[in-house]
Every structure is written in C-alpha cells, then in structure tokens.
Structure 1
Amino acid sequence: MNTFELALPWWEFVWRGIGAYLAALIMMRIVGKRSFGDMSTFDIIVLVLVGGTLRNSILGPDVSFFGGLIAVAAILAADRALAWACTRSPWLNRLVEGHPTVLVHEGDIVPGSLESVSLPMAAFRRALHSAGMEDTHNIRIARLEPNGRITFIRKHS
C-alpha cells in the first residue's frame, strides 16, 4: 500500500474518530472525576493503554499518512463542537462534566464522600498539604470539582 493511499473511504475515518471520541468520553465520565485530576502513575498507564487500544478502532487496517490525519481532525472537530454546545447548554454541560462533590463540611469529612469518588485518604491529604493546611478543622467546605481538582474554602477567623 502507498503511504498516501487510504485503506478505507475518508468518511469512515471521520465516523470512527468521532465514535471513538464519544465512547471514550462516556467511559471516562462513568469512571469518575478523579480520572481527570492529578494523575498518578497508574492513571498515566491507563491513559496510554486506552489510546493505543483505540487506535485500531479508529484506523482499522489503515497505515496511510492521511487516515490518521483525517481521524485526528474529526476528533478535534467533535471536541470543539461539544465544547461549543456545552457553553450554550447548562444541562449538557452538567451531563458531560458532572457536579462537584462535597468532601468536607464545616471542618468534618463528609462520611462516605471520599469513597464515593474513589479518592484515597492519602491523595486527599496531599491535596490538603498542597493547599497549605495540615487538617480539616479550618475548612468551611472542600469540594472535588468536575475537573478533578479539590477546592478548599477556609472558615473565616
């Protein structure tokens, strides 16, 4: 096969790319917020393996130069279209991003909150220390945001 000869029709790369993008988005949304936050070594390994595995779903038997470019262009276009739609629809944005989860309320860790988002206590403590705090006593509220970051709001002194 020629480097510039496509193994499939061009539109097949478009549909495969968009389909793989949407399927990966849905699966990552199901897995939860922590996957999008501070990535551990395990998270990076999963990300690399997912990308490598999706390659076959997107490109199939194609090894041409243009097949991958067409698929990447379709994925980027789908991402821009979804971002555009999310900025105009609060409902869709909540569906795609999710809601924040309250982890600490008035100095106390909300029972079951860390477990519900699969956040180990050690990771929570690292985030706490990164914010310059030793414990939760001076926190009015701490939330795991939809983007995976933890937001701490201190109590007023």
Structure 2
Amino acid sequence: MILFDSWQAIWRTGILGVLAYASLVLLLRISGRRTLSKMNAFDLVVTVALGSTLASVILSKSVTLSQGVVAFGLLIGMQFVVTWTSVRVRWVRRLVTGEPALLFYRGDYLSQALKHARVTEAEIRAAIRASGVSTLGEVEAVVLETDGSFSVVQRRADDEASSLSDVVRPGPHEAPRHV
C-alpha cells in the first residue's frame, strides 16, 4: 500500500532517524564548526553528502545505523583532512577552494574576468547597490569570493592597508598580477 506499509517500518524509521541524527550531531560537534560551513563548493558538497547519507540511513532498509555512522565519519574525516591540508599547503587550497576573482577595479569592468566567472556588468552593479554604495566612483573593487558571494570594496586612503592583497588582478593582456 502506498500510504502505509507497517507499524514496524514506521517505528524503524523513527528510531533510526533519532539515532542517526544524534550520531551525526555528535560527530559534527567533535569535528568542529568548519565541517558545515559553506565557505566554498567543496564544503557545500560535503554538507549535501551528509544530508543524503542521513536520508539513506533513515529510509533505506538495506543501510544499517552502523554503516551510516561509518559513512558520516568518513565524510567528516575526509573534510577534516582536506581543510587541514588546505590551510597549510597553498596549492591544495587553490585546488579545493579556488581563488577570489577581481571583476571590477577602479572604475573598470574586467571583461575577461567577467566572462570567465560568467558574471554580467548588471550583476556587478546590483552587488554595488546591495552594499549601499551609490556611485561606481566610490568603489575600489568588486571581488567574486570563493563561496560565490560578491565583496564590494570601497575606495580607501592611500596609506591604509588593502584587503585586496590576496586577489589577483588581470593586467592589460589578462596576465595575472597582484593588486
């Protein structure tokens, strides 16, 4: 029957759901806050995989609670290893998270960077408006961050440190160089 199979199936789903959820929460608490942050595409994939695994444990009769807990541990463990390594090894960080992309700099739209990021000038203007800036002249730069969000950096006094030091700016022939 489509609406009801058996009370045993209902109880199994309820009990496994509570136990699997509690196991996942415990493992996430042990692993730290970074595991569920949506800082980049890799973090999002891990979050989705955890959710999918939780659903499989709860709904699939062929997946046991112990298998689900091992899967949670494996995903969280791999996430930990990758993020731990990416904090310490630059090429791993670039491979996993990418780099922020400078799309607008001192009044100029960087057309090659816009095309590469698949972003329009209208989206840049929308990000500038959303940040509360009224004119393009007030903007030092617009950066597409590794998590897909836009950062709008307002013009600064020349003697202040720039927040753009880790952003690569394309030159006249679109060869990367640091801002």
Q: Please report the TM-score for the alignment, with normalisation by the length of structure 1.
A: 0.55
Per the TM alignment, residue 103 of structure 1 is displaced from its structure 2 partner at its CA by: 0.6
- Give the equivalent residue in structure 2 for 1:94: 94
Per the TM alignment, residue 143 of structure 1 is displaced from its structure 2 partner at its CA by: 1.2
Taking the aligned partners of 1:123 and 1:140, their CA distance within structure 2 comes to 16
Higher relative contact order (CA 8 A, sep 6+): 1
- Give the equivalent residue in structure 1 for 2:149: 149
Once the two structures are superposed, residues 42-90 of structure 1 have per-residue CA deviations (whole angstroms, 9 ceiling, x without a partner) of xxxxx97xx659x88xxx9832222222101110011011111111111
Once the two structures are superposed, residues 85-111 of structure 1 have per-residue CA deviations (whole angstroms, 9 ceiling, x without a partner) of 111111211221112211111112111
Asked if 1:77 is matched to 2:77, the reply is: yes
Asked if 1:131 is matched to 2:138, the reply is: no
Taking the aligned partners of 2:111 and 2:63, their CA distance within structure 1 comes to 52
Q: Read off the aligned partner of 1:133 and give its amino acid letter.
A: V
Structure 1 residues 80 and 134, CA gap change in structure 2 (3 angstroms): same
Taking the aligned partners of 1:109 and 1:83, their CA distance within structure 2 comes to 33
Q: Read off the aligned partner of 1:88 and give its amino acid letter.
A: R
Taking the aligned partners of 2:135 and 2:62, their CA distance within structure 1 comes to 54
Secondary structure at the residue paired with 2:136? coil
Matched ranges for 1:1-157 at <5 A: 62-156=62-156
Is contact 1:103-1:109 (8 Å) kept?
yes
- Give the equivalent residue in structure 1 for 2:8: none
Larger radius of gyration: 2
Task: Note the residue ranges of structure 1 that are not aligned, 5 or more in a row.
Answer: 4-32, 37-46
Taking the aligned partners of 1:82 and 1:88, their CA distance within structure 2 comes to 10
Secondary structure at the residue paired with 1:102? strand
Aligned identity (percent) is 24
- Give the equivalent residue in structure 1 for 2:163: none
Q: Please report the TM-score for the alignment, with normalisation by the length of structure 2.
A: 0.49
Structure 1 residues 52 and 84, CA gap change in structure 2 (3 angstroms): closer
Is contact 1:85-1:92 (8 Å) kept?
yes
Taking only aligned residues, the RMSD between alpha carbons, in angstroms, comes to 3.3
Q: How many residues align?
A: 110
Larger deviation, residues 118-127 vs 83-92: 118-127
Task: Note the residue ranges of structure 2 that are not aligned, 5 or more in a row.
Answer: 1-11, 13-39, 158-179
Secondary structure at the residue paired with 2:76? helix
Secondary structure at the residue paired with 2:152? strand
